[in-house]
Amino acid sequence: MLTKRYWWVIITYIIMQFSGVIFAPIVYKVLPITEFQAVISWSIFSFIAGLIVVLLLMKPDMQQGSDPQAADGNTTIVWSITGVFMAFIAQMVAGAIEAILGVPQGSENTEAIMEVSRAAPLFIIIPSLIAPILEEIIFRKIIFGALYNWTNFFIAATISALIFGFIHGEPEHILVYASMGYVFAFLYVKTKRIIVPIIVHMAMNSLLVIAQFSIDPEDLERMEQMQMIFIGG
């Protein structure tokens, strides 16, 4: 069962995700900027504000200290590094299965984020840093954690991944979202530290951000399997 604080975290995340529909046009009318700049400015503001609110709501959890069985510092580092390779492998396998099933490769959500990031580099703080923190807190610690207490690993990881996929408007790529969800959930259960899946999620998103600025856009578009790792934002 979710606590009241956890429900407020989820509500904050939903408001943050969809607030731009109302407030971006207001920013555009009030400030002497383009419509694109208004959307980007509000997105950055809302994600930062959302992160602050979520961290404040999660403060009691942080003050409780770590689980007595939680991984120590060195183990945390090892699993964070290992987790990146695990996530890449899981994504590749899921992508291959989708290809066999005839699911169109590539992610419209990813491509849109990449286009925006090229046009407004400051925007990359959202998929690289802020989104992974928020998403792991909500989808792994809160949703997966609550379900895991009542069901089993597979059911909890699958449901949390389904919700994640639908929130991002890409249910056709649910295999990829689920594969990543299983890896992130496994890392959370194994280490009992939410920071581990956060680090892995950040690393994967940041690698694609680096790639998009160092590889020709046309070449990057052909690397559809690679694009599918960019699941944040």
Q: Which residues are catalytic?
A: 135, 168
**Phi–psi pair at 231, nearest 5 degrees:** -100, 0
The burial class, CB within 10 Å (0-12 / 13-18 / 19+), for 132 is buried
- Residue pair 229/91 in contact by the 8 Å Cβ criterion: yes
Structure tokens at 183: 């890896």
- Residue pair 173/107 in contact by the 8 Å Cβ criterion: yes
- Residues of 89-108 as b/e, b for ≥16 C-beta within 10 angstroms? ebbbebbeebeeeeeeebbe
